[in-house]
Structure 1
Amino acid sequence: MGRPDHIASLDGLRGLAAAMVVMAHVGLVFPSLATLHLPIMGSEAVGLFFALSGFLMAYLYGAQPVTRGAVLDFLVSRFARIYPVYLAAVVLVMILSMTPGLDYIQPIHSTMDFVRHVVLLGSSGVFWSVPPEIQFYIFFPVLWLCLGQPRRFPGLIAILMALVAVDGLLGLPGPGILLLSKLPYFVFGTVAGRLHVVWRPASHSLLVGLLALLLPLLFMSYRYVLPAIDPDFWGMHSAFASAVIVALVAWQSPLSARIFASSPLRFLGAISFSLYLFHVPAMFLARHTLDGLLPEPVVIPLTFLIAVLAAWFLHVTIEMPARQWLVGLWRKSRLRSGLIQAPAGKGEVPASSRS
């Protein structure tokens, strides 16, 4: 089976989520804005990222045969996609944290704290969300089995359903860096991705387009528009809503695609992971350099632009080359041949270049 069609609107949704995270941290970089009590939607953005990850893994891999080669190629591809640029961001933050007199705003406090981040157990700044993402990739082959052969593994599916239910009843317990505390976001996204492949919904409905545009607005604002609602974001309610939004945007109704598949949002989507990792250091350094040289109302949008340009530069110089190099090295390695023990070209699945 060939690679599924690329869903351009999901690039735009990822770009929108990345922009939401950046906006959520503007008040951190510019403390004067904190007094305005602007809505902070970083949690909503990360919830969408998690659901997107589950959706895309199911969409790209769910229909593929589950073989040793397929799983190993998947794990290497995902690790190569995430870890090198993540490590570069951790090193940069450590350097900024150690620079005398700089007072970096989201520091890594010690050598041991640095080691925790390197081994994916740290939680400084935005880094907290990377460990559950990696843990989901390790967990995904179990879901992959269930997606590909549901009649063969009814007991496993029942256990997973019970795990998600108990997780929800317990209030998604545990530190945020553990998959258990965010599992429903990934699982609901995975189910939505698999349904998209099986169902292949029609995309020309005006109603679908309206819902795909309006639901994200409600999702991002409901805690502020309806303050009587429990303000805690993380839970089964937002996990389900995240997956529904991703599914509706993936239908690519012409109305919603005009926004989500637009060039600016797709560009932000392409660089979203680098933007997510590096926007705080980039904006902090820009403010530190420009402070006093220009009025703050000018500096604020300028720092956003600098963060985007820095993310694009790191995307093309570190993120993509490192991934391509590591995946290429893996595919040529004797270790892969020995582990897979299959003729070349078998047991492989296509790697997603934009997920």
Structure 2
Amino acid sequence: MHTRGTLRNTWHLGIKEFHSLLGDWTMLFLIVFMFTGSIYADARARPESLQRAAIAIADEDRSQLSARIVAALQPPQFITPEMIELADIDKGMDAGRHTFVLDIPPNFQRDVLAGRSPALQLNVDATRQSQAQTGTGYIQRIINDEVRAFVQGYPSVTPQAVELVPRALFNPNLTQGWFAAVTAIINNITMLGILLTGAALIREREHGTIEHLLVMPVTPLEIMLSKVWSMAVVVLVASSFSLQVVVKIALGVVVPGSALLFALGTLLYLFAATSIGIFMGTLARNMPQFGLMSILVLLPLQILSGALTPRESMPELVRVLMSFAPTTHYVGLAQGVLFRDAGIAVVWPEFVMVALIGAVFFALAHHRLRHTIGQMQA
């Protein structure tokens, strides 16, 4: 009976949040713009420079020349190459662990010394669009430099240019807008998930309606749950519309992944994002203070989560700290599902991490909300 009452109160309080949001024209404009005009504009983002790109090498030749090539692909442009087997190329690319995978075929050194022009295959994760374009040129130049330096020890051999055959996966034309548009949706989900719930709580305090709630037979948990589910529904509907209409139709982006699996991951992530928003709403005393606090929270979450810059390019300390942020795991989940058509068998670790971190933030936000309401009642 108590559970039924909790669900009923949570439902009615959530409906109240919808009515309150419909009366806030500024927030409605922000939601519409962030999932339409902003997405379209971000699809024209400027690419970044190559820095510590993730690369793996399948060395089938295992020769002196192939060892030289492996040794040349080093920081700062690339991380230290991971040596893998040929059968593991697709698995690593599908999981998003490698931006580049270079396949050095058998008898590569012998073909070079015989004066032939052997071909190497370079597999490129084109979801990291800017690195894919820049890195392919880097790798081509490095390989040709190493081949020329190697054959200098064999005067009878005339150096021939090595043919590098790139294979761009998940974005065959390296279209920048494909990556930027989906990334913008991911970032806007984070931003609005936090802003809407925090602003809803502060709006209650500024308008004096929080006092009305305190005299009603509702608990802090019901108040919090109502804001979480209502704002999560708003962001989920807006992001799904943006993906289907703005990204797929207006921008013509091919999204091979499951929209349903992405929506489930987004709903789980919004559980964490809205909890962060409520926690911040209990700390801020008014809307301007909440806005300033949001800048300090949103910028690290968006810039350091891997959505804009691959995490491999970041310092080790930053990567460790950001592993405790739900945004980091949600970005991996969303990119894996939408770009690489990854199924639940591939992205389930990200689902688990988002759920666990979300539960921690929900507990912290609930504790802080109870404390805040207790102070107001006193």
TM-score computed with the length of structure 2 as normaliser: 0.27
User: Between Structure 1 and Structure 2, which shows a larger proportion of helix residues?
Assistant: 1
TM-score computed with the length of structure 1 as normaliser: 0.28
Q: Which has the higher contact order (CA 8 A, sep 6+)?
A: 1
Which of the two has higher C-alpha Rg?
2
